[in-house]
Amino acid sequence: MTDRSRQWTAALAVIGDEILSGRTQDKNVAQVATWLNEQGIRLAEVRIVPDEPARIGVAVNELRAAYDYLFTTGGIGPTHDDITVDAIAAAFGVPVIVHPEARAILEDYYRDRPGGLTEARLRMARVPEGAELIPNPTSGAPGVKIENVYIMAGVPYIAASMLEALSGKLEGGKPIVSVTVGARAPESDVADLLRETEAAHPGVAIGSYPFFRDGRYGANFVIRSEDGDLARSTSEDLADRLREAGFEPVAGGL
Amino acid sequence: MTDRSRQWTAALAVIGDEILSGRTQDKNVAQVATWLNEQGIRLAEVRIVPDEPARIGVAVNELRAAYDYLFTTGGIGPTHDDITVDAIAAAFGVPVIVHPEARAILEDYYRDRPGGLTEARLRMARVPEGAELIPNPTSGAPGVKIENVYIMAGVPYIAASMLEALSGKLEGGKPIVSVTVGARAPESDVADLLRETEAAHPGVAIGSYPFFRDGRYGANFVIRSEDGDLARSTSEDLADRLREAGFEPVAGGL
């Protein structure tokens, strides 16, 4: 039975030299965060680590112990720099095996493709002993689940299809509801007003995210709560207070 | 004297509920990574942590001990959710003070602006005792440096201007040179070729980054080395090997 009253948490380990070098703009943090929230699970920490087995191992062992779930992205393809499965197997202290079902999926997927199931492609059937598979409706090679660790592809659209396959299958709590109000206000002009609004509504957190656009300052104020009605009534109160202070509130944000 | 022969490393702590909620797409990882590389410093780890003082403190103390430099982004504005300075002062075990020079900068910046230097804005002059300032040519409120920790704004264009102000001022080693070769090859078809090329050129690392675009598979292969000539000659060798295998190499990547 899912205990919806407690807060469920997850961490994400992004494995990839290409992110740390600045070459590739990460897209997985935002998409995993958004998906987790829909599952009623809070993304509580992200670590981006290089393609080094020892560094992956430390991150995986710390994060899987600290949170309910750990997701990883990256490093599960067919090439020599795809070392995530080996690193995580080592972190768990188990050998790497070829998963029979993964092998069958790959045999089927590559049957009519040029080259067939090469040795390189067969690498993608390797899993830590004791692991299960995460379906990959997009490109054949499955993700891997071992205990509370979900090992996913780094290519964002493939990771997205693995998340889709996991939707509704994880135990979670209440999703966080967030309501956004924007205003063309320099955030320093409304700092007191924000603090007072948050203090007046226990159970909400208000974040302030300033921007400078079209030559003018503005900010979006995000009200978050597990209680959707409370988030909405707080946003209305905040809009009233902004209006009184001379700033036109914009529901949904700017 | 800068020791250019050793590898200089940095970590980045991104402080922000808005990133962990999926609401905001992070831009600072890529820009800090790119800038660090230009300074001859390797971004070795990133952690994204929530706006919670204890969590910020743990990340800051672990990362500043493990790497030459620690950069942080986020949470230094004028609003109640801007708690980075307090959290980092607590992590260092020092009090928070109003920095006289920061106060003077803010007095000057807000002199002719509506509202002047309010109490909320004055929050942005608070620093951990013993800290220095990082100039902010964009929006007045400075960044903060304490020991090897560089505390920067979360808004990407403001963080960029703080990085610009720090350019060439940090000790670093040799920048990593990266050369990219692309090909319309499924990466599993060239996995052996990549491994062999990397093995034939000690001192380089080759990353493989697959994509699916316009209905076709392809991949970019990134050759990285501290030795620019070696990176370039390896890329030429890789291009030859790709051509021999029937894939047209594209210098600079696809």
Taking the Cβ of residue A196 and every Cβ of chain B, the question of whether any pair is shorter than 8 Å is answered with no
Helices B28-38, B156-166: axis angle to 10 degrees equals: 10
B contact residues 208-237, partner A, Cβ 8 Å cutoff: 208-212, 222, 224
Q: Which of B21, B27, B121 sits opposite A178 (nearest CB)?
A: B21
pLDDT in tens, B135-147: 998 888 999 999 9
Rounded to a whole number of angstroms, the distance from the CA of A137 to the nearest CA of chain B is 15
- Cβ contacts of A22 on chain B, cutoff 8 Å: 29-37, 43
Q: Which of B30, B120, B191 sits opposite A22 (nearest CB)?
A: B30
Q: Per the CB < 8 Å rule, is A208 touching B43?
A: no
- Give the nearest chain A residue to B13 (CA atoms): A47
- Cβ contacts of B49 on chain A, cutoff 8 Å: 45
Say yes or no to pLDDT of B4 above 80. no
Q: Residue A213: its pLDDT value, please?
A: 84
Residues B68-97 have a mean pLDDT of: 96
- Give the nearest chain A residue to B51 (CA atoms): A207
**Sorting pLDDT into bands at 50, 70 and 90, what band is B212?**
confident
CB of A100 closer than 8 Å to CB of A128: no
Q: Residue A162: its pLDDT value, please?
A: 96
Q: Per the CB < 8 Å rule, is B44 touching A50?
A: yes
- Give the nearest chain A residue to B211 (CA atoms): A155
Q: Sheet holding A132-134: strands in order across?
A: A132-134, A143-146, A149-152, A69-73, A8-15, A41-49, B41-49, B8-15, B69-73, B149-152, B143-146, B132-134
Q: Per the CB < 8 Å rule, is A212 touching B155?
A: yes
Task: List the domains of chain A with CATH numbers.
Answer: 8-166 (3.40.980.10), 177-251 (3.30.70.260)
Mean pLDDT of chain B: 93
Q: Residue B176: its pLDDT value, please?
A: 83
Taking the Cβ of residue B50 and every Cβ of chain A, the question of whether any pair is shorter than 8 Å is answered with yes
- Give the nearest chain A residue to B19 (CA atoms): A30
Taking the Cβ of residue B167 and every Cβ of chain A, the question of whether any pair is shorter than 8 Å is answered with no
Q: Per the CB < 8 Å rule, is B80 touching A30?
A: no
pLDDT in tens, B41-80: 999 999 999 999 999 999 999 999 999 999 999 999 999 9
Q: Residue B85: its pLDDT value, please?
A: 98
**Consecutive sets of 10 residues in chain A, 254 residues long: mean pLDDT of each?**
77 96 94 94 97 97 98 95 97 98 95 88 96 92 97 95 94 88 92 95 92 87 92 97 96 91
Q: Residue A167: its pLDDT value, please?
A: 92
- Under 8 Å CB pairs connecting chains A and B tally to 203
Taking the Cβ of residue A18 and every Cβ of chain B, the question of whether any pair is shorter than 8 Å is answered with yes
Q: Residue B3: its pLDDT value, please?
A: 67
Q: Which of B25, B79, B209 sits opposite A194 (nearest CB)?
A: B79
